[in-house]
Each structure stands twice: as C-alpha cells, then as structure tokens.
Amino acid sequence: MTVTIYDVAREANVSMATVSRVVNGNPNVKPSTRKKVLEVIERLEYRPNAVARGLASKKTTTVGVIIPDISNIFYAELARGIEDVATMYRYNIILSNSDLNEEKELTLLDNMYGKQVDGIVMMTERVTDPLADKMGHSPVPIVLAGSIDESNHLPSVNIDYTEATYEAVKQLIENGNERIAFISGSFNATINKKYKYQGYVKALEEAGIPIDEALIFDDVLTYDQGMKVYNHVSKLAQPATAYFVGSDEPAIGVIHAAQDDEKIVPIDIEVCSFENSKLARMVRPQLSSVVLPLYDIGAVSMRLLTKIMNKEDIEDKQVMLPYRMESRNSTR
C-alpha cells in the first residue's frame, strides 16, 4: 500500500541505506545516484515514515508543550512563541492543557515521556515536590517557561517579577497614592505569592506605607472578578486610590467598575496591570502595564530547549529576560 524506503531502493536499484542517505542529506552519495533516487522518490511519492524513523533513531523531532489553558490569550501568546521557534528548528509540538491541575500535569508528563518527545517546555504555577521529582527523573530535557522552580534545578526563562512589580508600585506611590490595592492571581502560584507580592511589599515599606491586608486579594483572574474586587474595595472606610492588578482581564474589570462608580481613571483611580496583552490597548482609557513578554518567553524557552537537546554548552540555564513598563492612560 504505502510506499516504503524499500520500494524506493528496489526501483532505483540501490540499497535502503543509500535511499536513507539521500533522504537525510548525507553527503556521501554520488550526485548521479542521488539524482536517480530523488527521481524515484518523486515518482513514487515516497514520504518517510516518521514513526519508524523515531523508533530506529530514538529521535522523534517533536517536543511536548504543557501549558495551563490554550484558550487564554496569556498562554496562547506563549504557545505561539514556542511553536514559532520549534518550527524554525523543524520540531513539531504536542500541545496539552493542564488546567493548572497537578494531577493532570503529572499524567501529561508521563504521557509525553511515553510518546518519546525529544524535550518538553512546561508552564506551571508551582513546581510541587511530586512535579519536581517527576521532572527530575525525566528521560528528556525540560525547560520551564515563565515558571519558577525554587530549587533552581531546571532550566527556565523568566523576568524579574519582583523588580518589575516593585518599580510599578513605586511609580504609583510617587504619583501620590498611599492606598494601593494588590490584586493578584492565585497565591498558589510561586510567582504571585513570593515574587510579585514581595515587590509590592518592598515598595510600600521603602515608602513607609503600612501593608493593609484589606487591600490584598488573590485568585482574581477574570473581568468579573476584577469588577467585584473594585466594588468591594471602594466601599472600605479607606478605599484604595490605586490598583496594581496581576493581569489584564481583571485590570479592565477594575477600570470599568470604577467608571460605573462615577470615578475617572486615572484622575480618581489609577490602575496598573502586569501583562500587556493586546487587550491593554482595547480599553478606554488604555491600560498602563508592566510588559510581560510572553511570546519571547516562549520563543526563548524553546530555543534554550533546542540547545540542550543538541547538547550544546549553555552559559546560564536560568534565563532572565528584560521587561519594561508601558505607561498609558490608566495611570498618571
């Protein structure tokens, strides 16, 4: 039925080995026989079977990608970065959603191992012990994208979340705010709980502003949740005048809730986000945000993975990408 390397060999009066050589671009083939083989390949429409190749060579030229949820722009942007450089290096991507569920992450890793991927790029909120253990015993290299492994054993690509947050909050303080709410994603996430939060605390302490637990919220991920938090905070005896929000969607929720509350952003209320997806430009006023370069984090992670799979020497396996602040009109 399907034409195999053997069929090509027979038709071209050469051995399988020679066909294999021309298919794989091995230079040790006389131009004339290469030509002959190529012709037969064309005529028979021969297409190498990647599975057989994978079994024989122990390389599948596919890498696994485990992310929380592809339908979230946040992660989709990362995925695109990964995919683009994967394509560049001729790798295919097996994509799986973990929904931030540790059980699922563990299963997916096993699944990827079973599929004999050549490497894995993973994004997760927290590298728990079971995860660290399974990844530590991985048969293939793994790179963490935008994720922190506190033991620092795994290669990873991140930005300095603490500094970025510190700078953003400091700016809010310099603008005259003393009541600054910290609206975060899940505190189960290492990045939120230990890094961004620390930056927030550092900025406030430096300015001599006391930390008020009443202004700190975690698990705020959606537009609606952002609105809800604003509506709660605005009714406090001492409401916040500025909001540092962990991502764009809830930040927009905060802005709209503030506007519904007859407040003018950024005059009465300032809002700063931490993401800068294309949503940031699609609100009025446009959203000021720390730029989290998701696409780049994905791309660099994949690039790092190719190097490791290729057994190249890596100077530093914990890559820190630069970040910047995009000041638009939701802050003064």
Partner DNA sequence: CTGAAAGCGCTAACAC
Partner DNA sequence: GTGTTAGCGCTTTCAG
The binder of 77, among a copy of itself, DNA, none, by C-beta within 5 to 8 A per type, is a copy of itself
Q: Which of 16, 23, 44, 94 binds a copy of itself (CB under 8 A)?
A: 94
Measured from the CB of residue 250, what is the shortest distance to a copy of itself in angstroms?
Answer: 11
Using CB under 7 A, count the residues that bind DNA. Answer: 31
Contact range with a copy of itself by CB under 8 A, out of 21-29, 95-103, 169-177, 299-307: 95-103
Residues 163-182 that bind a copy of itself (CB under 8 A): none
For residue 239, how many other CB atoms are within 10 A of its CB? Answer: 17
Which tokens in the block code for residue 181?
A: 């709410």
* Residue 287 interacts with which of DNA, a copy of itself, none, CB < 5 to 8 Å by class: none
The pattern of x and - marking residues 199 through 218 that bind a copy of itself according to CB under 8 A reads --------------------
- Give the containing element (helix H, strand E) for 290: strand 288-291
Long-range contacts of 149-155 (CB under 8 A, 24+ apart): 150/190, 151/127, 152/318, 154/127, 154/317, 155/304, 155/305, 155/308, 155/314, 155/317, 155/318, 155/319
Residues 326, 86, 37: CA angle, nearest 5 degrees: 150
Q: Is 48 in the site for DNA (CB under 7 A)?
A: yes
Strands (E), 105-202: 119-122, 142-145, 156-159, 180-183
**Six token digits for residue 50:** 């990647």
Q: Which of residues 271-310 bind a copy of itself (CB under 8 A)?
A: 278-279, 281-284, 295
List the interface residues with a copy of itself, window 59-88 (CB under 8 A). 60, 62, 69-73, 76-77, 79-80, 83-84, 87
Backbone φ and ψ of 287, nearest 5°: -85, 125
Alpha helices in 123-270, H assignment, sequence order: 129-136, 161-174, 190, 197-206, 223-233, 248-260
CB 245 within 8 A of CB 273: yes
CA angle 263, 268, 269 (to 5 degrees): 90
* 111 touching a copy of itself, by CB under 8 A: yes
Residues forming contacts to DNA in the complex (CB under 7 A) are: 2, 4-6, 13-18, 20-21, 23-24, 27-34, 46, 48-49, 52-53, 55-58
Residues forming contacts to a copy of itself in the complex (CB under 8 A) are: 2, 47-52, 54-55, 60, 62, 69-73, 76-77, 79-80, 83-84, 87, 92-97, 110-111, 113-116, 139, 223, 249, 252-253, 256, 259, 278-279, 281-284, 295
